[in-house]
Structure 1
């Protein structure tokens, strides 16, 4: 009788897998195989990103195989992936349902989806007065999913992470993806996923709004444009004052919930969760 290892998957690990499964990752269950396994291919440029995933998932025995043509992140076969396969696949095709999307309940999962299949674009348009207007948009390329499935994801992201997206129609894939183009939602989204993306230098370009704006401005200047107006650059700073930090520490000592602290400080819930995580790492809580 062969030994089958039992894994205790944490919520963070599960969210990394679910976010990646909605993006570049897949689950495979073939032929006589009793259990499924996770796999993910990527280009050489993204090896540091997949090393980050492998490190985060090392307790689940994930390995990064770099000897093959396209580096591959892979898990062992196990019943925990068979359970996920049954939730996320129908007729061997990935699906989004109201039942499976609730597993994406932490910003690290949203960050993985964005790093896998998202882009930050700094665009420009000409105005009637001859000026050039620079503005950003974020696209999440969920083209492998139907309009209905994208609607499920859209509503869930709004409810869970307080970020509004819109459905955008395209000619390729299943014709729909999610886009964020309103200032407040772009800022909220970036603030939500940044704590995790900051851990991976090769992914920083997906969150560096000011730098990307400046690069676009210089590009347009080099082309001879002079009157360049940009989308509001008063990007909301996520820094905490000393008074806010002390308030958080005292509140946690008194047993105040993260949600209550967020409400009292007028901060986002996930921002407070991340700040508390960092305070714990600094042994302040």
Structure 2
């Protein structure tokens, strides 16, 4: 779904290799993006809602710009296998991807390059999630939770958990909520980080005097940041269908119509103008 609650857009991907944009106000597809050659395996909106990242079963990740309605970059064969998850950094222009090749890639979305790569030999990562500050990346796999530092990239800890096949992670207010499935069972799990943080000793407070400190802080990172407030006002995906919000419709006297009797055929279907001489082509 679109990252802002005020919008009615959502995006889907499937085995037909197409990324589709929907507006539930119209109950049908309002835009289609073609370019993948394999089934779509992962999709994510950027935090500002202007981009979509899509991954497929051939290991490719593509970036789409909704403002122009086209693909702006492809990371070809990023993984030696299917892409299992992609996740935008919550603050700056970074993207994380995981695949069946047991790799996690950190991508720079300004230069469209690979910054670093993490080996996850213990398990295939099925879902990725940054914490609110963006300095920690969590990866969920089969009975496995990995904890990774972002810049510099490092493995901070790995935790064995009996969660089955982890499919989704959400990190909010120092808590991790996970959803997993095993056969016909679906489970949800909660970790309270302040109380059960098994890797709390792995993270030391950043040295403010160090010139190599790269911990993320809003408006201070050297990387370009997502402007969520501006995007909330300007986002209008380019599609084949013109979208008009009710609040933006300029109603004048000519468009105002009052029908006193809805059962009177001539009142309902009364023309606005009459052309006495003319012809149809």
TM-score of the superposed pair, with normalisation by structure 1: 0.28
Higher relative contact order (CA 8 A, sep 6+): 1
Structure in which a larger fraction of residues adopt helix? 1
Structure in which a larger fraction of residues adopt strand? 2
Larger radius of gyration: 2
TM-score of the superposed pair, with normalisation by structure 2: 0.28
